[in-house]
Amino acid sequence: MGDVINLNHFRKAKERAERTRRAEESRVRHGRSKPDRETQRREEQRQAEILAGKRLEPAEDPPEG
């Protein structure tokens, strides 16, 4: 005869493994580290400043008079 197995432990371990696998997939698909997000934010800000510096007219000044 085989060993006695508690099916609740087996079922819970299987569910934990599945949640871990899905979490790993989600991290790969959606996740970015904080330094990556900060680098992208700084680069976007730098690009916006470069673009603003190349404007021929000042940005939206109220008319004087």
pTM for the full predicted model? 0.44
Question: What is the gyration radius of the CA atoms in the chain, in angstroms?
Answer: 27
First to last CA, the chain: 98
**pLDDT tens digits for 41-59?**
999 999 999 999 888 886 6
CB 52 within 8 A of CB 59: yes
Residue 57 DSSP one-character state: S
Higher pLDDT, 6 or 58: 6
Give just the sign of the alpha carbon dihedral 50, 55, 56, 57: negative
Q: What is the pLDDT of residues 8-40, one digit of tens each?
A: 999 999 999 999 999 999 888 888 888 988 999
